[in-house]
Amino acid sequence: MPSDEKQKHMVFPRHVLVGNGVLDRVGETIADLELETNGIIVVDSNTRKLVGDRVQASLRQAGLVGHFYESSGPTMTSVQAAIKAGRKVGAHWYIGAGGGSVIDVAKLAAFEHGPAFLSLPTSASHDGICSGRASIKETRGSVSMEAKPPAAIVADTEIISKAPFRMLAAGSADVISNLTAVLDWKLAHRLKDEEYSSFAAVLAKTAADQILENKQLIRPGIEEAAWLVVKSLVVSGVSMAVAGNSRPASGAEHLFGHAIDRLAPGPMHGETVGVGTVLMMHLHGGDWQMIRDALREIGAPTTAKELGVPPKKMIEALTTCHSLRPERYTILGESGLTKEAAQKLCKATAVL
């Protein structure tokens, strides 16, 4: 029997629109959520040109008024400016229309200001398009913060398939990383009695399997590829909503990715966690070759060289990343890898 203290609060998006031309339905989606008239459309200079007019036209058609806020990057300064813009017009919703960082600014502004957040991704490079977490840049690197989960996701596959293919490959790798994240979660459950949800784990694993089973479809310029990756990212997001945290989609491979972000910034989030997945799957004794081959086929990096990370930084990331988030128990244990073990691991997986 569950104890009296046991409570669970899951927040899911009410509308998920994926497909060709769904961008033109953003207005009716907000109307259907019964939100009030005024809101903010967070964009950057590129995405404003790319989708700004169509978003405005769709909002007007639904009798809504959107005000642009052009984000200068994923920083708290930008978030505060977005909130200020929202307060000025009495915003009841924030649309994040753009890539990961625009979406992060919008979801944090919505979280701090109170209104609803709508995710309108123009690329699909990581599972932030449908999560309640945001990554914000600080002087010491990126930090993950609690943010507003999306009330709706409007993912136009025509637009997403025209974004640079590197982003879609990175998004695929971020979904594949669920495989090691789930193994780490199970380990923490066994060793530390951490709460585990098999529903959430199955969802996260299914999303990764969908990418692996259909990897031959993930090719540049193919709208079906955008479909597949977006839907898998959404299921990944739902797995986190079921878990109530990021466990099903973030384990040691993400710790490694965050360490690289700090030590050798440059590669995309999905790219570093993809390489991290190969490494951590080797530590788990799982089929790391299958993961490496799939990443290769998709066109995501599988080596330090392809990531553009110097060998020294790779080893430093591997030996230190366990300490970035001590409460998140993973295959790296409490003391992490020794230098020698890290070197052997990189050699065994041909990452170095």
Q: List interacting residues with Zn ion (CB under 5 A).
A: 126, 174
Residue 221 backbone dihedrals phi, psi, to 5 degrees: 75, 5
Which of residues 126 and 215 has its CB atom nearest to Zn ion in the complex? 126
- Amino acid (1-letter code) at residue 117: F
Tell me how far, at minimum, the Cβ of 257 lies from Zn ion, in Å: 7
Q: Identify the sign of the CA torsion 262, 264, 267, 272.
A: negative
Number of residue whose CB is nearest Zn ion: 174
Cβ 210 to Zn ion shortest distance, Å:
16
Minimal distance, residue 174 CB to Zn ion, in Å? 4
For Zn ion, the closer CB: 107 or 126? 126
Q: What is the largest CA-CA distance in the chain?
A: 63
- Provide the 8-state DSSP code for 217: G
For Zn ion, which is the closer residue by CB, 47 or 246?
A: 246
Rounded to a whole number of angstroms, the minimum distance from the CB of residue 1 to Zn ion is 35
8-state DSSP, 68: E
> Which residue lies nearer to Zn ion by CB, 126 or 322?
126
Pick the closer one to Zn ion by CB: 48 or 126.
Answer: 126
Strand pairing class (38-43; 65-70): parallel
Closest distance to Zn ion from the beta carbon of 6 (Å): 28
Give me Rg for the CA atoms of the chain: 20
**Please, which residues have CB within 8 angstroms of residue 5's CB and are 6 or more apart in sequence?**
none
User: Residue 181 in contact with residue 284, Cβ under 8 Å?
Assistant: no
